[in-house]
């Protein structure tokens, strides 16, 4: 299977292979090879049994990592690789002399993805001499995020970096106030409704969200050896980033795995992602005794799915998810229920967002849409993946879980 065939609605032209994309493909391929050797030998509750020929599933995953990103921008833009966003030493000096300020307005925080984004933004803004004057956490409440944007504006920042995925329509008027005030806006994942690049905002920096869903589908199919019943947990807010992840998963299952049936599909709105995941999967396990797997749009609901499986006495339930969170990583390390993770690259994403904000301050032309591919994570490449994604060593509890699960 080729990358284009996985998402035929938006195939990339064959010549559009960026050097930055090759770099990420090489990283992903290296991580994949690390985990391939022992995949079939594992007796994990979340991985394929030794009798399953995993060759076609591994080939599908490799096809993703070696091709172009699948997604396009909100207006059909071809994505630009993150590695192409750079500032010269002279530009950094110029930015530092401006004494600019920034606000970081998050949808929620406390998860590994959000933490890494904010950490990277702080580090890069500090390098650029840009002072953060406001940092907010909406706790998955669109009304609070609307208020947070207004609060951030009262600090008179030159820059706002924010993610409007809770409700791009409802939040648009608040972002409009910022744009009308001359604030340079860089969006994470998707823009506010009816905002235009280069006019209302600087750029969008996103994960290949459709590709993350595609990866999760192949990983779950591998764990189930291509057949069985599965449930889907998606984000109830219909923002592009959320819709694309779900579409990537469900369309790949429908196209490539006819013997896998999606028997449940539930949208969650938070903020108790883990609790909602737990209650839904608990009900599914009762309703569908043969349920073989669950896919989640990010890691927190899958923590609840794992708890539900344990509480029900299940000794097998394959779980795949997006984002390399600490708890799902530990479960995978312990040969638990997590069969695969399609990991975003939040630290690199945050660094690029800060650089693009600097582009705007300099008057330097910025691409409308920058996208980073998802990377496949298995138990055998957990430590290397963590270092690559978070620019830090794996936590001690994760390393201990790996050691104890061998």
Res 238: pLDDT? 83
**59: helix, strand or coil:** helix
d(CA 50, CA 327): 26
Res 184: pLDDT? 99
Instruction: Output the CA torsion sign for 324, 329, 331, 337.
Output: positive
Res 27: pLDDT? 42
Q: CA nearest 212: which of 101, 308, 69, 319? A: 69
Q: How far is CA 304 from the centre of its chain?
A: 18
Are 207 and 374 in contact, with CB atoms under 8 Å apart?
A: yes
pTM of the model: 0.84
d(CA 152, CA 175): 11
Instruction: Output the CA torsion sign for 351, 354, 360, 364.
Output: negative
Place of tokens 């064959």: 14
Q: Structural domains in the chain?
A: 3-74+209-345+375-404 (3.40.50.2300), 81-206+347-372 (3.40.50.2300)
DSSP-derived letter for residue 84 is: G
User: Residue 389 has which token pair?
Assistant: 């994604």
Place of tokens 């599965």: 230
Q: What are phi and psi of 73, to 5 degrees?
A: -70, 175
d(CA 13, CA 331): 39
Res 87: pLDDT? 99
Are 125 and 102 in contact, with CB atoms under 8 Å apart?
A: yes
What pLDDT tens digit does each residue of the chain (406 aa) get? Answer: 333 333 333 323 222 233 344 344 434 444 443 444 333 433 346 765 678 999 999 999 999 988 777 777 888 888 899 999 999 999 999 999 999 999 999 998 888 899 999 999 999 999 999 999 999 999 989 999 999 999 999 999 999 999 998 899 999 999 999 999 999 999 999 999 999 999 999 999 999 999 999 999 999 999 999 999 999 999 998 888 889 999 999 999 999 999 999 999 999 998 899 999 999 999 999 999 999 999 999 999 999 999 999 999 998 999 999 999 999 999 999 999 999 999 999 999 999 999 999 999 999 999 999 999 999 999 999 999 999 999 999 999 999 999 887 6
**233: helix, strand or coil:** strand
Burial of 343 (0-12, 13-18, 19+ CB in 10 A): buried
DSSP-derived letter for residue 82 is: G
**384: helix, strand or coil:** helix
Burial of 13 (0-12, 13-18, 19+ CB in 10 A): exposed
Q: What are phi and psi of 51, to 5 degrees?
A: -85, -5
């Amino acid at each position: 299977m080729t990358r284009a065939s996985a998402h035929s609605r938006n195939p990339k032209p064959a010549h559009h292979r960026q050097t930055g994309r090759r770099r990420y493909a090489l990283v992903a391929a290296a991580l994949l090879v690390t985990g391939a050797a022992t995949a079939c030998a594992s007796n994990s509750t979340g991985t394929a049994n030794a009798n399953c020929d995993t060759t076609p599933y591994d080939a599908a995953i490799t096809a993703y990592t070696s091709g172009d990103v699948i997604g396009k921008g909100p207006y059909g833009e071809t994505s630009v690789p993150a590695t192409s966003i750079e500032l010269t030493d002279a530009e950094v000096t110029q930015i530092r002399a401006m004494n600019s300020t920034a606000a970081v307005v998050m949808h929620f925080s406390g998860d590994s993805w959000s933490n890494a984004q904010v950490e990277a933004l702080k580090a890069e803004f500090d390098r650029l001499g840009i002072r953060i004057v406001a940092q907010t956490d909406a706790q998955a409440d669109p009304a609070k995020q609307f208020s947070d944007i207004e609060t951030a504006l009262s600090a008179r920042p030159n820059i706002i970096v924010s993610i409007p995925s809770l409700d791009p329509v409802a939040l648009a008027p608040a972002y409009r106030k910022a744009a009308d005030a001359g604030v340079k806006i860089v969006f994470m994942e998707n823009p506010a409704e009816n905002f235009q690049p280069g006019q209302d905002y600087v750029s969008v920096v996103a994960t290949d969200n459709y590709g993350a869903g595609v990866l999760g589908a192949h990983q779950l199919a591998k764990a189930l050896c291509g057949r069985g019943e599965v449930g889907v947990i998606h984000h109830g807010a219909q923002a592009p980033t959320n819709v694309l992840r779900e579409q990537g998963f469900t369309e790949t299952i429908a196209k490539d795995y006819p013997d896998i049936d999606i028997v449940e599909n539930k949208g969650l709105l938070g903020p108790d992602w883990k609790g909602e995941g737990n209650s839904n999967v608990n009900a599914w396990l009762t309703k569908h005794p043969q349920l073989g797997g669950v896919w989640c749009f990010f890691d927190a609901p899958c923590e609840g799915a794992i708890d539900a499986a344990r509480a029900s006495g299940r000794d097998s339930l394959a779980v795949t998810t997006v984002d390399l969170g600490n708890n799902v990583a530990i479960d995978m390390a312990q040969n638990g229920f997590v069969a695969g993770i399609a990991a975003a690259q939040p630290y690199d994403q945050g660094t690029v967002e800060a650089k693009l904000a600097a582009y705007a301050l300099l008057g330097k032309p910025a691409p409308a849409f920058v996208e980073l591919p998802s990377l496949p994570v298995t138990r055998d490449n957990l430590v290397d993946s963590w270092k690559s994604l978070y620019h830090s060593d794996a936590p001690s509890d994760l390393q201990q879980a790996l050691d104890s699960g061998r």
